[in-house]
Chain A
Amino acid sequence: MKQFLLDGQPVPFADGQSILEAARQAGHYIPSLCWHKDFPAHGSCKLCIVKAAGRHVSACATPAREGWEVESNTPEMNGERRGLLQMLFVEGNHFCPSCEKSGSCELQALGYEYEMLTSRFRHFYPDRPVDASHPDVLLDFNRCIFCELCVRASRDVDGKSVFALTGRGIHKHLVVNAESGRLADTDFSKDDMAAHICPVGVILHKGPGFAVPIGERTYDTSSIRSLKLQEEDS
């Protein structure tokens, strides 16, 4: 079987498999936020950045190649990831202390995983009002990281195209695809795949709030690294 070297360790892969998929299958963790096994690679969050053949590439969107030497879990790459995480944090309004997703949030878990101790950059403090119009689901746009998982799930699986990104560059933001812009005016349902795919705290089911006690949240006892690798095994 073909293989490449990831941080000096041989990793087998099948033709067409990405570096990220092959690495996780072999028990090596490469982080991601926008990647999902049910969707084509998106390559937007850049957390899976690795150095392959001397170039920085997104591991989720780059097919593995025979004989490549790939650097991932190195101080340089992890430093890049920390910087990306810091940019994601300052770009939105992420107040973990009062966020019900705290403890189960992938962005927060990666902040811990990559030892993000400061915000480093100046906060943008964008003005992003919540959309609470839907009876079952609340949208808190403050926490959006533009992974487009909800966009893709709603469009490709639910067949509804409820969400979209709009605006350019620094003004990019998530919107609801309705004339009014309100979620209540779409055919969105709490049972949609899009209602369950957000890696952060944007798409929230009304009611449960802080029902899961501290100590029993997703990342209270296991790191995101080990949980993602367990998912791969199951």
Chain B
Amino acid sequence: MSFELETAANRENLRRVAIDPVSRVEGHGKVTLLLDEAGHVKEARLHIVEFRGFEKFIQGRPYWEVPVMVQRLCGICPVSHHLAAAKALDPVVGALTLTPAAVKIRRLMHYGQILQSHALHFFHLSSPDLLFGFESPVQQRNIVGVAAAHPEVARQGVLLRKFGQEVIRITAGKRVHGTGAVPGGVNKSLTAAERDTLLADADQMIAWSHEAVHLARRLHESDRALYDEFGLFRSHLFSLVRADGAMDLYDGHLRLRDARGHIVKDAISCADYEQHIVEEVKPWSYMKFPFMQDLGPLKGWYKVGPLARVQNCDFIPSARAEAERQAFVAHGEGEPVHAPLAYHWARMIEMLHAAEVIRDLLNDPDLLSDQRMKEGTKGREGVGIIEAPRGTLIHHYRVDEDDLVSYCNLIVSTTHNNQAMNEAVRQVARRYLDGRQLTEGLLNHIEVAIRAFDPCLSCATHALGKMPLAVELLAADGSLADRAVTGS
């Protein structure tokens, strides 16, 4: 099964342009383009060349180790894996429901994660592109450049992320790779002093997040031709929503909307995900391509993440974020917004929501309760689904009679967006690279499209705009015709 521009009809005599590596999550990806003699794009692929193997080597390990081990999948959003695994393993210890304290502390941890991750992505990674332009001087196109030109924006971005990290530290024990969630509950409550430390800054974070939404919106509306059209493609939208249709990033049921915004699947229990989602393997990428089984691989793929969530829910259960959601929806003039660059605007709305949720949770006395754990009749299987910063994250485990993991299936957020990112790359390649000489700025258009999805690109590859990207243009005989390098 192949999409337009996925596989060239005749690969002979086509020039191959490889962007290798494109930075991505904890590993490597690359973009390859095949161009004909006139420079027209005949094939464009985002290949994910990582191979991790977590699903295999977690087998044979004790179940209680899993939430701590699998979070090592990622250094940016480990809390998501930590919590998804803990949720999946709650039924294994017989905790079919958790104590109010445990649920709220986990939620606090998760929304702290959303806040810090979204702030990191928008301010540190993407704002240089958005504030200075995709082809602005590379020396400026980084967070240091933002700090020089827009010091208050950079400062707020850094402090928003720091606050989110503090929420994580206080709930999980460490800013990165903590141990807070355990099957059946959490291992620590908040002290009054910890709560008060966070509360002191909570309102400021809401205010700054609000400003960030307006910044993203202003950028979008100031150049609608670019923001609405760049890399545009239409697809289904997929996410968790709460039982009443509200946005919920920690728990709920699964919902799918079609590209026109109609709900086509709803109230899917997390435990039933396997009945709906299947993954296709393609020989040119290690990352699978999930799709809805009944819709098939050509029509059943979808977007996940902020752009999907903000439009898949019926409302956001916090006042300021809901007002911003309504403005966002209005921008679509009755149709869902599919523009990849609108991810940024949607992401900031979620950040505002996270800040509001954190403030409200901090005022809840249950956070201080020592009623942290529940247990009951042990189970042998569990599915945990959570809305990670980048999208729907699925963890599924089976445990044998000796308490060892016998089966593990993980479908991570970036995987759901595999086809979507490929589509965006193809649209951008066709629109901006077709028949033109390679420049760093043009290459950055590809990066901008991929980056909009926030595909968990690691700090190392994105740091300070020095995303290591080498593009080589090879002549038909394989000789090097042109080469451009960014970063190091």
Contacts and interface: CB of A to CB of B under 8 A. Distances in A.
Contact of A100 (B60, B65, B188): B65
A214 B403 contact: no
B408 interface: no
A204 B453 CA distance: 42
A208 B179 CA distance: 12
Contact of A214 (B61, B65, B179, B402): B179
Contact of B60 (A98, A129, A213, A215): A129
B188 A213 contact: yes
B370 to A, nearest CB: 12
Interface stretch (A109-117, A130-138, A189-197): A130-138
Contacts of A207: 64
Interface string B66-93: 0111001000000000000000000000
Query: Main SS of the interface on chain B?
Result: loop
Nearest to B187: A213
A164 to B, nearest CB: 22
Given A209-B62, A210-B187, A97 B179 contact: no
A210 B69 contact: no
B404 A210 contact: no
Interface centre among B172, B179, B187, B403 (most CB of A within 10 A): B179
A189 B178 CA distance: 31
A130 B72 contact: no
Nearest to B65: A98
Interface string A73-113: 00000000000000000000000011110000000000000
B167 to A, nearest CB: 15
Interface in B393-448: 402-404
Contact of A213 (B61, B69, B173): B173
B178 A214 contact: yes
Interface in A178-208: 204, 206-208
A211 interface: yes
Given A97-B72, A97-B177, A212 B187 contact: yes
A210 B64 contact: yes
Contacts of A209: 62, 64-65, 182-183
A209 to B, nearest CB: 3
A132 B72 contact: no
Nearest to A95: B69
B174 A214 contact: yes
Nearest to B173: A214
A186 B29 CA distance: 51
B180 interface: yes
Contacts of A210: 64, 67-68, 179, 182, 187
Contacts of B177: 97
Contacts of B174: 214
Contacts of B172: 214
Nearest to A220: B173
Contacts of B182: 209-211
Contact of A130 (B68, B179, B404): B404
B173 A215 contact: yes
B174 to A, nearest CB: 6
A98 B64 contact: no
B65 A213 contact: no
Interface string A114-143: 000000000000000110110000100000
A55 B61 CA distance: 44
Contacts of B402: 132-133
A98 B72 contact: yes
Contacts of B72: 97-98
A217 to B, nearest CB: 9
A204 B64 CA distance: 11
Given A99-B65, A216-B188, 14 more contacts: A132-B62, A132-B404, A206-B62, A206-B403, A208-B64, A209-B182, A210-B64, A210-B68, A210-B182, A213-B180, A213-B187, A213-B188, A214-B173, A215-B173
Query: 5 nearest interchain CB pairs?
Result: A214-B173, A209-B64, A98-B69, A132-B402, A213-B188
Interface of A: 97-100, 129-130, 132-133, 138, 204, 206-216
10 contacts: A97-B177, A98-B68, A206-B62, A209-B65, A210-B64, A213-B188, A214-B172, A214-B174, A214-B178, A215-B173
